[in-house]
Structure 1
């Protein structure tokens, strides 16, 4: 589900207030406060578009240049050595320098967020992880036979043979 509304280069993420029983939002990425609300969820996009249009009309009336949301493009000045290391890391991971910088910024700005990871393995290593799972009998007693493997010492377990 995509909860981001977009219109004329502006975006908003509407929310619901249970206390006020209204859907509300504001234009993201600009310093001016442009908000909107409605009691009807089906009207939220219409209200967002009206807020953007009102903002643009207001700016024109007062002779102000409307702010635009961030484009996602910016220049970064770093040392040549750091640039070299980042470019090399991007090549090693078969990704772009932009993706390396974006990932580093995400990790810095949202350190507690868990991300899905994808690892590209050369074919000779990948086959180690695609072998069929074999069923073996667990045996023994003590921790290996009871607590960790269940109540039955001879219970069948699925393990991966490497």
Structure 2
């Protein structure tokens, strides 16, 4: 499944400079793909939030990441797949911060996992080489489950000429 199409784009003028224009999805998608670090927000069974940094790759219209099956984020997603991934420059007056809302779907097909594993190596280098077997990544003796989050809604927060863009898919 892919969301490589143009979403509905809207500038929220309530939170934007008077001369701001909406950021285009091609720019948002490019910056999502290029980011090195993301923050994943999930919800624990008792409703408390859980946030953790991780690496991810943009693949076939979605952000893909992996996690050990016993990690808190994996347990949270097994109970409630709704999540948010964020990334940005971490500075106040420049850049485009991005927020992706969606549902994490497990990726278990070995052929697809091999393509995602190749995307990790292309982006992060050989240190992030994963073996693929039995519907999961394997790295240094540990299993990692792979999830994909296709945007349902995404936001771009431009700094400098402040503008808040919403993309609906």
Structure 1 length as normaliser, TM-score?
Answer: 0.21
- Bigger strand share: 2
- Bigger helix share: 1
The higher-RCO structure (CA 8 Å, 6+ apart) is 2
Structure 2 length as normaliser, TM-score?
Answer: 0.21
Larger Rg: 1
